[in-house]
């Protein structure tokens, strides 16, 4: 389960620290409020493509951090930086973007209006998974 997402200097978000609780968490807000930036930050933390143009105007670099609670009682923290620091960290140990992409963090899932994405349980093979 995603517990926390920290975003710094990514596009127009200077500093955000979002705490997530168990169950369904919903991001809502006006157009331009930053919902897409937050979901994009989670994608970056999960190994998505980086682009130095995402670095905001207030600092020379941006970063995202995500903390996941995994059963049974394990916790993983991922940090990715953008320009000039292109470094990812897993629980304080550096590792490559390629390893981030291979790491199975299927505990996270999100949807937007009109997305044809399978429910998280389907992706993770959980209770609601189809045969």
Question: What is the band of 122 on the pLDDT scale with cuts at 50, 70, 90?
Answer: very low
User: For residue 130, is it within any domain?
Assistant: no
88 is a domain residue: yes
Q: Report the predicted TM-score, pTM, of the whole model to 2 decimal places.
A: 0.66
Q: Which of 5-9, 78-82, 122-126 has the highest mean pLDDT?
A: 5-9
Residue 129 lies in a domain: no
Confirm whether 32 is domain-assigned: yes
Q: Which uninterrupted H or E stretch holds 64?
A: strand 62-70
Query: For residue 125, is it left (φ>0), alpha (ψ between -120 and 50) or beta?
Result: left
User: Residue 71: its pLDDT value, please?
Assistant: 79
Over residues 74-119, the pLDDT tens digits come to 888 888 888 654 555 555 555 555 555 555 555 455 555 555 545 4
Q: Mean pLDDT in the chain?
A: 75
Q: How many domains does the chain have?
A: 1
Does any domain span residue 75? yes
Q: Is residue 77 part of a domain?
A: yes
CATH number at residue 70: 3.40.50.300
Q: Where in the sequence is the domain holding 71, given as residue range(s)?
A: 2-124
- Residue 26 included in any domain: yes
For residue 21 the two structure tokens come to: 């609780």
Q: If you average pLDDT over residues 28-42, what whole number do you get?
A: 90
Residue 7 domain flag: yes
């Amino acid at each position: 389960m995603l517990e926390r997402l920290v975003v710094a200097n990514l596009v127009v978000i200077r500093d955000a620290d979002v705490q997530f609780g168990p169950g369904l968490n919903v991001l809502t807000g006006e157009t331009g409020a930053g919902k897409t930036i937050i979901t994009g930050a989670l994608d970056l933390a999960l190994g998505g493509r980086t682009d130095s143009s995402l670095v905001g105007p207030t600092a020379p670099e941006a970063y995202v951090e995500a903390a996941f609670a995994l059963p049974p009682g394990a916790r993983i923290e991922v940090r990715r930086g953008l320009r000039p620091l292109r470094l990812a960290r897993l629980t304080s140990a550096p590792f490559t973007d390629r390893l981030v992409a291979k790491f199975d963090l299927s505990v996270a899932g999100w949807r937007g209006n009109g997305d044809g994405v399978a429910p998280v349980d389907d992706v993770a093979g959980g209770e609601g998974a189809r045969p």
